[in-house]
Structure 1
Amino acid sequence: MNQSTEAAKIPMRFQEAWNTHDMDAFGRLFHPDATFVNRFGSYWRGVNQIVTGHTGIHATIYRDSTLENDAPDVDTIADNAAILHFWSRLSAGDAHPAGPHQIDTLILAVVTLREGEWRIQALENVTLTNPMTGAVRLRS
């Protein structure tokens, strides 16, 4: 099994869990002691906080949203650890208060292999904005 290939599957698994709004599958992406920083700077420690933080938005404003994640850049730092960088496009639907719109984010994830399974140890999500105006923008 190619370790970097297995680690590189995480963004697609993330996308599938998001698009089906399956918070159980979403939770299985993370180690129990994982951390998550969302695009607004909220910091969650532990898979329970991560899932709880996402369950509410998937029941409300993101209930009809989808993600499209690009293939990641993978930097293997050990046999059991890698850093992933990948672009993600969120398409919000009618359920969002701002109506349908898209947001691009860049995700940095540290993934590790424990007990035979690659999972996320730490993830940070940054919204793409114009640094001069702060306006959200889509990448080219």
Structure 2
Amino acid sequence: MKNFALIGAAGYIAPRHMKAIKDTNNNLLAAYDKGDSVGVIDSHFPNADFFVEFERFDRHIEKLKYDKGTYLDYVSICSPNYLHDAHIRFALRSGADAICEKPLVLNPWNIDKLQKVEEKTGKKVYNILQLRVHPSIIA
């Protein structure tokens, strides 16, 4: 069983990520969104901790690691596109691989910087291609 955190829990795509985490018998430890999304999280992971302030979410992830010896394997990023770069960096620096839909970055030159963070941390970024409006996917 892998441990996940999720950023952007109130977004459109987050319930799909939560369902995938649950369907693959993994565990969501913590989620963050500035908007309240506890009802959605509770339907998948009633024991997950939820935060509306990033600073508290960040502190909680650190406490899990250093106080309880619980490490994240993945951070699933479902936040708005303009935040993907920062949230990917957070995941990698927290010792987790990042799972993020496209685009990873808005400015092409930032992808090189993400690669350097990958190299430095030994963690990876996994990109998901979402075709939510493609007829075959909808069907």
Same fold (TM over 0.5): no
Q: Which has the higher helix share?
A: 2
Band of TM-score, shorter chain: under 0.3
TM-score (norm 1): 0.26
Q: TM-score, with normalisation over the residues of structure 2?
A: 0.26
Which has more strand, going by share of residues? Answer: 1
